[in-house]
Structure 1
Amino acid sequence: MHPNNIHNSSYDFEALSTAHPALLSYVFVNTYGIKTIDFANHIAVLELNNAILKHHYQITSWSIPEHYLCPPIPGRADYIHHIADILDKDTTPKNIRGLDIGVGANCIYPILGAQIYGWNMVGADIHPMAVASAQENVKATSALTNKIEIRHQKDNAHIFEGIILDKEYYHFTICNPPFHASKEIAAKGTLQKLKNLQVSKSLELNFGGQANELWCNGGEALFIKRMIKQSVAFKTQVGWFTSLVSKKENLSKLYKQLDKLKAIHKTIDMNQGNKQSRFIAWKFES
C-alpha cells in the first residue's frame, strides 16, 4: 500500500475491539494462531469498519442501509493518499476541496479525506437513500459537519452539472464508478465472489450492492468516457479529475478519449495485498 497508509500492517484486533466492543463477538483465533474475523460475514465486516473508523479516524458512529456496499477501508484510504501525492505542492491542507462523484451511502471517501488530511469535501449521488445515509454519517460526528457537504444529483444525464456550482473550485474529483455493464453481469460477479468466499448463495444480497453502485449501461468504460467528455465544461473549476478503473483493458479506450480532448493524463497503480488496482487522473491546460 501507499507508505502513508496506516493500514500497511495487520489489523490490531485488541485495539479495534477496545474502540468498538461490538467487534469482539466476531473475533476469533484461526488455525495459524492469528486473530481475525470471518470476512464472509457481512455483520462482522460492518463492525470491523466501525472499529477502524472509530479507532483510526475518530468517527463517532457509522452505518449503511441493508444491502448497500460495505467498502474495504484500507484500499479506500490508499486512493486518498495517492490523490494527496498528485495535488499541487503549493496547495496547503487547509484550502483543499474535493468532490466525490457517487459518494454512496457509506460516504467513505469524504470521511477519509476530511479526517486524514483535513480536506473540505462534497459528495454527490443520484440515489436519494444513499444521499440520506451519507448525510446521517456526516451528522454522527461533529468534526465532519463543517467539512463535508452531501448533494443530490437529480439528473442522471449529468455527472458534474448541477453539482459543481458557479464560481466553485475543486482541487480534485474522485470516483469509484459502477464497473459492470448489466444487472446480469453484476449478478454473475457476485456469485463468483460468493464462491471464492465459500459462502452460501442465500447470502448473496449481503454482498450484492445496489444497482447504481454495481452496474450501468456500457459498464465503467462508457461511464468514465462520459465523465471525461463532460469534464471539459468544468476544466477551469477542477484541478485534477480522477476515477478508479477496475479493468486494465479499458485504459486504452480512455487514453484515446483524453488525447482527443488534449487532456494531460496519468495512471496511478495501487496495490493492496494481492489485489492490484489503479486510477486515472486528467487535467486541462489553463
Structure 2
Amino acid sequence: MKSELSYSTFHPRNLHLAGYDFSVLVQAHPTLSQYVRPNAYGDDSIDFANPQAVKALNHALLKHYYDVVVWDIPKNYLCPPIPGRADYVHYLADLLAESIPDLNHEKVRLLDIGTGANLVYPLIAANAYGWQCVGVDIDNKALRNAQQIIEANGLQQQISVRQQPKPESIFSGVILPGEQFTLTLCNPPFHASAAEALAGTQRKWRGLGKKPPQALNFGGQSNELFCAGGEGAFLTTMISESRQFARQCGWFTTLVSKASNLPLVYREIKKAQAVTVKTVEMAQGQKQTRFVAWTFQPELSKKRI
C-alpha cells in the first residue's frame, strides 16, 4: 500500500511521485519490514522519529530505485529524505539541458559540497544520469564511510570523494588547478549554533507527535547541521569563493532553505559579478524549498528555464 504523503509537487521524472510502495520496498530490503505499521489513516508507514526505521527506508529506496545494494551510515549521521534529494538532481538536469546544446550526460562532472557519510546526491546522479561525481566533506569519518559505499557497489569509475583540508573554505583546496566541473550542488548547514539546531530538531519531533530530545543526538553531525553565522554566512563564503573558479565550473548551485536569505544571496552573486542567476522553486508535500544557480560564463546564459 502506498503512503499517505502528497507527491504531486515532485519533479515529473522523480521516481517517488507515487509515494512509498512498502510491499516493493520490503522485498528490496527485508529489514524494513520490522518497522512498517499502519498509520492513523490505515496506510502502511514507518515511525519517522525512529532513526533505524528511516535508515532502513533509505536503504530500501536506494536499493530498489538506484541499484545501491550496500549502504549504511554511522550512528547519528545525517539520514536525508531520498525523494527530496532526487528532486534537486532532476532540476539540475533540466538546468543543464536548457543551457548546454547537445548535452551528453556521460560527460557531466558534478561536485557535491558536503556529501556526508550518506553520499546520497552522487548515488542518485550517477544512477539517474550517468554523471561523474566528486563528493567533498571536511569530516574524515564521513568520507571513509562514503568510500566504503562506493567500493561495495563497484562505483569507483563514477564516484570519488576527497577531503576539504581547510574547514573555512568551500571550493578552495578541493577544485584542483585546471580541473573542470559542469556544476556544483550543496545542501548547506542552515543553523548558526548547536542550540539553534537542537531547537529545530525538537520542533520536528513535536511535529511527529513525539517527546523531543534534550540533546542533539539524532539527525546529523555538527558540521552537517550548523556553522558560525548559519546558512547566510556559509552561502556568502561560497559565492565569494566561486568567483575564483569562474572558468573551472559551469554552474554553481546551492539549496537555500530560508527564503529570508534570498536577498543576501542575490546581493552576493551580483557583487561576485556572475552573468546569470536562476532560482528554481521546489516543493515536497508541505515543504517549500529552492535552489539558486549562478554562472560566470555567458555561453551558458543564452537559454532560459
| Aligned match of 1:15 | 24
Of residues 165, 170, 184, the one that matches 2:176 is 165
**Is 1:35 aligned to 2:47, yes or no?**
no
Of residues 8, 14, 21, the one that matches 1:5 is 14
8 Å Cα contact 2:26-2:32 kept in structure 1 = yes
The DSSP-based 3-state class of the residue aligned with 1:8 is: coil
Of residues 74, 96, 105, the one that matches 1:93 is 105
Post-superposition Cα deviations, 1:226-275, rounded to whole Å, max 9, x if no partner, equal 10000011010000000000000100011111112221111110011111
Cα distance in 2 between the residues matched to 1:164 and 1:94: 20
The DSSP-based 3-state class of the residue aligned with 2:218 is: helix
* CA separation of 1:62 and 1:93: change in aligned 2, threshold 3 A: same
| Aligned match of 1:69 | 78
**Is 1:78 aligned to 2:90, yes or no?**
no
The DSSP-based 3-state class of the residue aligned with 1:18 is: helix
Q: Which has the higher helix share?
A: 1
Aligned residues: 285
Cα distance in 1 between the residues matched to 2:241 and 2:216: 33
Cα distance in 2 between the residues matched to 1:24 and 1:208: 22
**Is 1:191 aligned to 2:206, yes or no?**
no
8 Å Cα contact 1:187-1:208 kept in structure 2 = no
Cα distance in 2 between the residues matched to 1:75 and 1:29: 23
1:91 CA drift (Å): 2.2
8 Å Cα contact 2:203-2:212 kept in structure 1 = no
**What percentage of aligned pairs have identical amino acids?**
49
Give the residue type in structure 1 aligned to 2:161: I
Of residues 121, 133, 137, the one that matches 2:149 is 137
Post-superposition Cα deviations, 1:189-228, rounded to whole Å, max 9, x if no partner, equal 1111111112233585553411100101111111111100
Give 4+ residue runs of structure 1 displaced > 3 Å after superposition: 201-206
8 Å Cα contact 1:100-1:173 kept in structure 2 = yes
TM-score scaled to structure 1, two decimals? 0.96
8 Å Cα contact 2:202-2:212 kept in structure 1 = yes
Q: Please list every run of 5 or more consecutive structure 1 residues that lacks an aligned counterpart in the other structure.
A: none
The DSSP-based 3-state class of the residue aligned with 1:201 is: coil
TM-score scaled to structure 2, two decimals? 0.90
8 Å Cα contact 2:201-2:212 kept in structure 1 = no
| Aligned match of 1:49 | 58
The DSSP-based 3-state class of the residue aligned with 1:7 is: coil
Q: Please list every run of 5 or more consecutive structure 2 residues that lacks an aligned counterpart in the other structure.
A: 1-9, 299-305
